[in-house]
Amino acid sequence: MADGVVAEGPTAVSSISQLPSHVSAGVVAPFGAQGTAAAYEYQSGYKVGAGDQLTIRVAGESDLTADYLVDGSGNISLPYIQTVHIAGMTTPQVEKLITARLRNGYLRDPKVSVQATALRPFFILGEVTTSGSFAYQSGITVQNAVAIAGGYGARADHGPVLITRKNVNGTETYRVPVTTQVYPGDIIYVRERWF
């Protein structure tokens, strides 16, 4: 078996990375700290990404106050200012951007608040009772995700799983323990047990 390649059963996966050296206690550190990949970052907050729903309120402007879905390109469209690219920004950064755009010829002193009300789902595949996409819940681990998917299937390997996540280099797949934290948009694959 080549280094960095997991070849178990009919669904061999290449480009599998082991846990980075800066990971402690079996929890994968958030990705995207050096770029705009959608990810959690402990120091700067949650980064908005495609599929998130934001509630944007502009004080005194009922036509601007609504729920907005971030499209596949990372944009939202608001009255007056049209399309705004917000993927990779925190909600305070989105507030500042919208405030600046509204102040530029539309409102004298806009008061904007932005809240992420529904985060993009995570996905779980493989040997679980019900595979598919599920609504993200803050702070869940792979174990929680398996429970949300109805538990392990009859032939599931209860050990490490494969988790695919976007990072600054694109999309990478890691072999991680079940105590690893899950982030919005993650794809979890529970492997089959080989007797």
Q: Which of 92, 118, 144 is the last residue of a domain?
A: 118
**pTM of the entire predicted model:** 0.64
- Token readout for 138 is 């803050």
> CATH code at 57?
3.30.1950.10
The reply to whether 137 and 186 lie within a common domain is yes
Q: Is residue 108 part of a domain?
A: yes
- For the segment 90-116, the average pLDDT, to the nearest whole number, is 92
pLDDT in tens, 73-96: 889 999 888 899 998 888 999 999
Q: How large a percentage of the chain has pLDDT more than 90? A: 44
Same domain assignment for residues 67 and 162: no
Residue 140 CA from chain centroid, whole number: 12
Measure CA of the first residue to CA of the last residue in the chain; give whole Å: 19
Instruction: Tell me the pLDDT tens digit for each residue of 20-37.
Output: 444 444 444 433 333 333
State how far the Cα of 120 lies from the Cα of 138, in Å rounded to an integer.
11
Considering the domain architecture, whether residues 113 and 125 belong to the same structural domain is answered as no
Which of 118, 138, 156 terminates a domain? The answer is 118
CA distances from 5 to 15, 38, 161 (A): 6, 26, 14
pLDDT score of 195? 67
Q: Which domain holds residue 101?
A: 53-118
Residue 170, pLDDT above cutoff 90: no
**Residue 10 located in a structural domain:** no
Q: What's the total number of domains in the chain? A: 2
Instruction: Give yes or no: residues 114 and 124 share one domain.
Output: no
pLDDT of residue 93: 94
Residue 183 banded pLDDT, cuts 50, 70, 90: confident
In a domain, 8, yes or no: no
Q: Whose structure tokens read 């990372």?
A: 74
CA torsion 70-117-90-51 (nearest 10°) is -30
